[in-house]
Amino acid sequence: MDRSAKPAFNFVNLSHPDELKDEETQLRIRRLAMAEVGKARRKPKTRRERNEIVLEFRTPAGSPSSIERLGGGEVDPFSAYPIDLDETGRGLVAYIFRNNSSHSRQLRGSWWPVGLADPAAFYMVLGNSRLYMLKELNGAFVTQDDAVSLLHQNNAIRSMGEKMKDPRHHTSDELLGAVGAFMCHHYILGGFAGWENHRNAMMRITQLRGGIDKITKQELRITMSWCDLVGAFSQDIPSIVTLPRQWEADSKSPPHSPRPYSAISLKWKQQLPTLLDWISIFDDVNQLISLERAFTDKELRLAATTGSWMEPTMVRLLAIRPLVRGSSQENVIEEVCRLGTMLFLAPVWRWIGARPVWTFNISRNLLSILHSHMVEWGDLKPLLAWVIYFAAVETRDAMERSRFVFFLAVVMGGLQIREWEELMQIVKRVLWVEKVFANSEESIREEVMRILRRATPVGKIAEEVESEGA
């Protein structure tokens, strides 16, 4: 009997039965139960009402389609899995869909169905879930497997070995899905030699299939592009899997939507009129952010299922290589902006749900260019300030961070500004996302200002940067 309309009842909404094991959930249930006991003592009830307990699993109003539920955090506890799950396995599945877990939400609605399609892929999904769980326990992503994740990895290898005995599986969707799961495993650990080996295997299988266009299942096609992109981004190398049609569509702004005015874009086209690769990407990002394409509920659901504008934008940034044309001043400026844009977008990607987003190679490449090339930025100095600000905020290496902080102080001196608020106005006018970067300045403000106070007059800081070879 549904007595949910009675105001005397309180409901604890669960998306998975294993959430009943959560201590906070149990405490909340006990508190509600004791509150009802207190009411019962104060108000007599019929015999039936005294003995009745209602346990009800309810589907939230306005529930989305099945693929959106999978991506958004809802999971069917009675779903058929490709392997028998023990208690540990059920816990790892529940962790994937726990709203406050450190697990990546990005494209979960695509890679989860791919994982369900094959035992080998599913074993790796469980192993990867364990790595995310270890991240939550340790406070940082781990660099090697523990006994639980290694057990699932060995089971996946054994399952793939059995599958390879049958030639019919040598080019199957299931094998491609399992290889993609291994690529994600190495990417989570930051082990890119293993990622590259599996990427090569994925491309060989794809070639035997007759090309990427022969992969017709949308979930698998998107998962393959994702597995390729995250490893390529982490190493700052071009992606080699072409964009899925869904991503191509998501990367474009609505037809006839207005372009926001950008003073820095106008200055770029006046100073570097023949270099349009990076500035065209910057203009698109500026427009998409101005339309808040990344931050509506609809876009967040898309990010968790089929992807957002972020993925094709990253592919475009990885594809352009200004320094291949030579190390002229113009090419150096474009390369610095390319790297800086990825460092700016990395926290936005995390905010949407991607984890991990490795940027150590990107910040290292940027620092190397700043040290080895001294160029005149002219009217584009605000762009340089914008790039270095986000590099200083993003880097996790203490030595690199101190170098970016120093460069930022140098740029402030070059712009002849002495107040931090003036710098932030310049940075925000280039491109900014308040809900992502609010309070980001707190980590570097005092260090930058300390350098400026020490380097008076401004000319002294220019001498210091010249001695550094920047």
pLDDT score recorded for residue 447:
94
The C-alpha angle 397, 329, 432, rounded to 5 degrees, equals: 50
Q: What is the DSSP letter of 78?
A: T
Distance from C-alpha of 116 to C-alpha of 375, rounded to nearest angstrom: 53
7 and 85 together in one domain: no
The reply to whether 215 and 270 lie within a common domain is no
Q: Measured between alpha carbons, how far is 426 from 316 in angstroms, rounded to an integer?
A: 26
| 256 within domain boundaries | no
26 and 88 together in one domain: no
Asked whether 101 and 108 are in contact (CB, 8 A), the reply is no
Q: Is 370 within a domain?
A: yes
Same domain, 293 and 324: yes
Q: Distance (Å, rounded) from C-alpha 465 to C-alpha 281? A: 31
Flag whether 255 is in a domain: no
Domain residues for the domain of 177 are 81-236
Is residue 253 assigned to a domain? no
242 assigned to some structural domain:
no
Contact 396, 252 (CB under 8 A): no
| End residue of a domain, out of 195, 218, 236 | 236
Are 351 and 405 part of one and the same domain? yes
| Of 385, 394, 455, nearest in space to 427 by CA | 385
Q: What is the pTM of this model?
A: 0.81
* 70: in domain: no
Residue 458 pLDDT? 44
Q: Are residues 185 and 287 in the same domain?
A: no
Residues 103 and 199 in one domain: yes
Do residues 90 and 43 share a domain? no
Same domain, 175 and 101: yes
Give the integer Cα–Cα distance in Å for 154 and 51: 50
Question: Is residue 401 domain-shared with residue 284, that is, in the same domain?
Answer: yes
pLDDT of the chain, 470 residues: tens digit per residue: 444 444 445 555 555 555 555 555 555 565 555 555 455 544 444 454 444 444 443 433 333 333 333 444 445 555 789 999 999 999 999 999 998 889 999 999 999 999 999 999 999 999 999 999 999 999 999 999 999 999 999 999 999 999 899 998 999 999 999 999 999 999 999 999 999 999 999 999 999 999 999 999 999 999 999 999 999 999 999 999 999 988 887 766 667 777 889 999 999 999 999 999 999 999 999 998 887 766 778 888 888 999 989 999 999 999 999 999 999 999 999 999 999 999 999 999 999 999 999 999 999 999 999 999 999 999 999 999 999 999 999 999 999 999 999 999 999 999 999 999 999 999 999 999 999 999 999 989 999 999 998 865 544 544 554 444 44
Same domain, 282 and 355: yes
Residue 292 has what pLDDT? Answer: 72
Does any domain span residue 67? Answer: no
Q: Tell me, what's the pLDDT at 64?
A: 36
Q: How many domains does the chain have?
A: 3
Q: Identify the domain boundary among 236, 253, 273.
A: 236
Q: What is the pLDDT of residue 430?
A: 97
Question: Is 254 among the domain residues?
Answer: no
Residues 53 and 110 both lie in one domain: no
